[in-house]
Structure 1
Amino acid sequence: MFEGLTVVTEAVKSQSEFVPKLKEQIRKVLVGQEKLIDGLLIGLLANGHVLLEGVPGLAKTLSVKALAAAIQADFQRIQFTPDLLPADLVGTLIYNPQSGQFSTKRGPVFANIILADEINRAPAKVQSALLEAMEEKQVTIGEHTYALPEPFTVLATQNPIEQQGTYPLPEAQLDRFMLKLKIGYPTKEEELQIMERMAQTSRMMTIQPVITPPEILAVRKVIDQIYLDAKIRDYIVNLVMATRNPQGFQLDLADYIEYGASPRATISLAIAAKAYAFMQGRAYVIPNDIKTIGPDVFRHRIMITYEAEANEISAEHIIQTIFAGVPVP
């Protein structure tokens, strides 16, 4: 085992050299927001999709565009609106009256990185069309099924403060996202940097490509080999079980949790922790990796009860209590 771990360690060290360079390119247009940058990279490296939630003006869209430029990937930004149709997303069949035949016109979903801007503004049919593509990595147009390009990552944004004209994502659809990142306001020092950098009529920020999509696919193979000890696997499962049966872990949360995390949470947490360990240059996962990325994996997968809402107990508080209460190996 140790010989195998040595080989993986060398592979991780050589393959992860691009991570600091990639972050440096994104920081050209993004001030602070280290957790956002890490979350975007984890989603990309772990073959998962990421939901970004934050008030307007926090550079959610800008960060995604910078990431796409830095990995030299095909990028499509789709502005979700109430009048959007599934065909506007995945494509449709076009009839040619001269030949009497239909030809396929592929939609913007055929790209490596999709920015679904304000995903909660589109009706359920459009959301379902995108989420089906996310899950199956393919799209059916007419009688033909087309595979989406690899890597394929959806980075969706939503605004938590506006409720008019929005269609909130159901819990079953939210579960398709590996991570949900909550974007907060910058500090005073960061705000000053933002003003100095962005308060001008012309913004010329050149992002240099650092890595290509084929190289990302090669990196994913290395991430799959990262060592996950039996005690770490047991810790991940215990955390998920604590969201479903908190009494079993002496946590007084049963009255506040309607539904706990699904098996997708177990899978997502394991893969995301491997990706995070890779970004740190390690060939093995440690408990701190789980604690760091775990809240982003659980945040959108725990449904709270009316009693929790009445007592002003949020899902964030429940997650913190679970991570504090479940024994660490």
Structure 2
Amino acid sequence: MPTVLMTGGHAGLGLVGARTLAQRYGCDLILAGRNPERVEKGAQQVRDETGVRVQTLTLDLNSLASVRDGATTCLEMLKAPGAKTESIDGIICNAGIQANGPASYSADGYETTFASNCLGHFLLVNLLLDSVAPAGRIVWTASGTHDPALMDGKSVGKAAEPDAKALATQGRDGKPISGGRRYATSKLCVIMYAYELNRRLRKAGSTVGSIAYDPGFLPNMGMGLGAPAIFRTSLVKFALRKLGMTMGQMPLSGEALAVLDQDAAYVGSSGKYYHSKNGLLSETRSSLASYDTAASTKLWIDSEQLVALQGR
């Protein structure tokens, strides 16, 4: 029976994905989040509905020490008596934040949006990568806001340059960019991580997959809850769809997390970008900037330095 680790799998989009992993694919789950009570509540819902084994993991993506502790605990779970496997069959990097207002900083001194959405998941994946099963997949939750050519990107402002060191110190030496742009930039970096990891895996001869996924704009959850209330009205949602916004649709957007990670139809999807739009899950192109391999390599190397990965 496969085992999948998911961040943010205890509520909203992630909870739908967790239920799908359990019901459709029979996966055991490790649900990770920073609030133990909330994570346990979501985990118990999945246990009650599906009967699968669901373990919880306290992990704050805004703290590199917490990520390291969480990765260590996850590996111990896999080796504990009664564990059905010593490998992870999937990692879904789903948790994310949009921090509006003045720039704030993590326990490590890094800008909160970049720390949570990028560096936390980057470190987690790298610490667990050797324990991912040969046919395992890593799914990175992205967003159409990263692309300034789309209405999604135009709605929040153009993503900044994917410079890890500059993004980590965003706002310390001057006025920070807006919360919307910080969010869009973090999602650009997430997609570039997914692509760069795919290149590194292929070069190493690995069969592990790395996929980027945009669940679409969901007015009633996630980034949508940070938007003005008018965005949640039927008329405005209809208008946004007409204007070309990548509108997600529950439960498809949540189910797609599980489908991309476990379904046999997506075995050859590493290095690709998918989105949920108007009730359909389909492969699409991400922004021009996301395909800059030199920038992606630099982003990866600089991120390794920021999380002190070389010292593990």
Calculate the TM-score normalised by the size of structure 2.
0.31
* Larger RCO, structure (CA 8 Å, separation 6 or more): 1
Q: Select the structure of larger CA radius of gyration.
A: 1
Calculate the TM-score normalised by the size of structure 1.
0.30
